[in-house]
Structure 1
């Protein structure tokens, strides 16, 4: 996911002090520009703001920045689903998933209606506004022009900046991985543990398909694989992986390549951790989680045999959450493996440990409680 150029950014328009005004709209998370924009400040009540947000009206903030933060928190409380509005009859897992996604999308649209002005140098011309120039530079690149974006998007940029600074502890690496904005953070460590434990078919060469932060390429290098080709289609991911590998002093073992799925040639080990849920992402950032019609999964399985050396293995890291949600069956997965001219030579499973597993208030709790993450060891049939 690359940052938008100024020419690709739409304009928003409003009236202020009886004069027509306009500015570029910026949203790396893919939110459309609000069609109607009004001026808002410290006098606006939370109820009035919530009504406007639900109507799809953007509120360009001219008051105190910290008051805008408090207003967004008040909007978030009002956007929470009310218990009495939840369906009484139990939905199927697929229905629960679709309703959950719908509610998430509506909530994001509503909370995205509180807007902030930015100067061309990424400063915010509001009282008590923080210095966010470094966070904006990391997400957007070098500044070019003034623009407007949502306070919620800014919070995402600041959160990504903090993750990038402190990093994610990876016990199997004995070090930390520092994710960049827009690159999926390896916070679910159970799949990394599987790659650390599985027996290596060779330490000569490996392909890491869809490397992201570079965490699995780094782990293979730490395990003694002397040469790794790590691919990704996203320039942000490749930049992130490069920075991580340099910091870990593993860049000499890993070659990064911008390509869709496989590099040329064959390897004794080909590894892939595709997005686990076959559904349409609602924003560019969600492409790491949602894989429409299992495009990446099917592409990996259909092309794997042609990129394996004789006796080599393909490692597919995949959660079965989609199966518990009714979005993909085990039979469909096995059929795709067989259709790719592959056979299963082994499988290692682990139960996730993330907080949502035990959160009974989560609408997807039953599926999450049953979830297994697996490393499928595949070979040419």
Structure 2
């Protein structure tokens, strides 16, 4: 899934002015210290930092984390992991079993609407993330962690951050995210519709919901479709599917440098770079094509971190930008394929009538729609706070043409 259009310029890649890295400050052994602060989620450096080690109990750590006090770890690395797990259990227990006062307040309120439930869900997720991000680790300039029993994370850090430059501090939770992303990149995601594995990079949306890939694999191709544009290519998965289907040339675009690198690597692994040109562009490349494909972020909400731009499209900017520019980039009798979930409609974030209005305003018409029911675990999880909406979700491929 691609990034948002008219993007904020990625702060990690802005070279228009000298980079000023945020700093974190703490006192230790009677002296003041500071270091570079790193947070891919965009979290500012904590204002209050204390030193913690193997003597710090989970209850003490959870209380400090909830108060916004960060803990710079000086003990055993594996003990830090166990402490983070304990913090997560306490955070989840608080959400699952609220206090009597919270229960009484909830009972006094009417049942939240789907939209309210969505915002409450995101609020709870954000609070949990902030709490768990309060356990910090030191890193040397070469990505060595100077703690007992610390693993070698140099490759995972290089993949996410690039070449090491200076010592820094980051949260243990972020490091575990980097390690998880490294494993995704190493093992890849098996996609039956492609018959191959796609290897997502850190910060690039993994195509774990294969139903939308299957739609692109099965939809009837326009006549004489020798060229296609893949807008917001991400991992390059849809460009790969189109190339496998026999389209002679595909131009795949994205604005995120990580996505561009990821797409090129995946297409090279699949021996498809001879058919696919990967370009940095805001939405469309120059020219027209008989087929233009786009799978924008599905939910019109504000991301809480840069990584969430793969999921959330503020004010539906990418969706509207794609629709508004599609007609002028289609050849005569060409088609635009919009791959979109209707989850936003079930959450009350964007009505179907609004989507149809944007399509008409862009001088487009719907010639067909292919639907599929998602099969991911959350769609069947009755304990999920958004289950009522997820259980109704349909993913669609809208076949659009100039009116």
Scaled by the length of structure 1, the TM-score of the pair is 0.98
Find the counterpart in structure 1 of residue 313 from structure 2. 291
Secondary structure, aligned partner of 1:370:
coil
Question: How many Å separate the matches in 2 of 1:148 and 1:129?
Answer: 15
1:123 pairs with 2:144: yes
1:227 pairs with 2:241: no
Q: Over residues 282-306 of structure 1, what are the superposed CA-to-partner deviations in whole Å (9 max), with x where a residue is unaligned?
A: 0111000000000000000000001
Question: How many Å separate the matches in 1 of 2:81 and 2:44?
Answer: 21
Question: How many Å separate the matches in 2 of 1:253 and 1:146?
Answer: 42
Say which of 58, 68, 82 aligns to 1:56.
68
**CA offset at residue 62 of structure 1?**
0.1
Q: Over residues 70-92 of structure 1, what are the superposed CA-to-partner deviations in whole Å (9 max), with x where a residue is unaligned?
A: 11011111111033446344210
1:34 pairs with 2:46: yes
1:362 pairs with 2:379: no
Kindly report which structure 2 residues correspond to 1:229-244, keeping only aligned pairs within 5 A, or say none.
Answer: 229-244=251-266
The unaligned stretches of length 5 or more in structure 1 are none
Q: Over residues 124-173 of structure 1, what are the superposed CA-to-partner deviations in whole Å (9 max), with x where a residue is unaligned?
A: 00000000000000000000000000000000000000000000001111
Question: How many Å separate the matches in 2 of 1:214 and 1:29?
Answer: 24
1:323 pairs with 2:335: no
Question: How many Å separate the matches in 2 of 1:8 and 1:151?
Answer: 23
Secondary structure, aligned partner of 2:19:
helix
Q: Is the 8 A contact 1:3 1:139 kept in 2?
A: no
Deviates more, 1:17-26 or 1:86-95: 86-95
Find the counterpart in structure 2 of residue 218 from structure 1. 240
Question: How many Å separate the matches in 2 of 1:12 and 1:358?
Answer: 43
**CA offset at residue 4 of structure 1?**
6.5
Secondary structure, aligned partner of 1:367:
helix
After superposition, the Cα gap between the structure-2 partners of 1:161 and 1:32, relative to the gap in structure 1 and judged at 3 Å, is same
Question: How many Å separate the matches in 2 of 1:232 and 1:137?
Answer: 22
Say which of 160, 163, 173 aligns to 2:181.
160
Which one scores higher on RCO, CA 8 angstroms, separation ≥ 6? 2
Kindly report which structure 2 residues correspond to 1:209-358, keeping only aligned pairs within 5 A, or say none.
Answer: 209-358=231-380
After superposition, the Cα gap between the structure-2 partners of 1:174 and 1:215, relative to the gap in structure 1 and judged at 3 Å, is same
Q: Is the 8 A contact 1:272 1:315 kept in 2?
A: yes
Find the counterpart in structure 1 of residue 96 from structure 2. 82
Q: Over residues 245-287 of structure 1, what are the superposed CA-to-partner deviations in whole Å (9 max), with x where a residue is unaligned?
A: 0000000000011010000110000000000000000011100
Secondary structure, aligned partner of 2:87:
helix
Say which of 151, 154, 165 aligns to 1:144.
165
Secondary structure, aligned partner of 2:391:
helix
Kindly report which structure 2 residues correspond to 1:60-209, keeping only aligned pairs within 5 A, or say none.
Answer: 60-80=72-92, 81-84=95-98, 85=102, 87-88=106-107, 89-201=110-222, 202-209=224-231
Q: Over residues 219-239 of structure 1, what are the superposed CA-to-partner deviations in whole Å (9 max), with x where a residue is unaligned?
A: 000000000000000010000
Q: Is the 8 A contact 1:122 1:136 kept in 2?
A: yes
- Size of the aligned set, in residue pairs, is 381
Find the counterpart in structure 2 of residue 14 from structure 1. 26
Q: RMSD in angstroms over aligned alpha carbons?
A: 1.2
Find the counterpart in structure 2 of residue 377 from structure 1. 399
Question: How many Å separate the matches in 2 of 1:351 and 1:59?
Answer: 44
Q: Is the 8 A contact 1:209 1:273 kept in 2?
A: yes
Question: How many Å separate the matches in 2 of 1:51 and 1:140?
Answer: 31
Question: How many Å separate the matches in 1 of 2:279 and 2:357?
Answer: 30
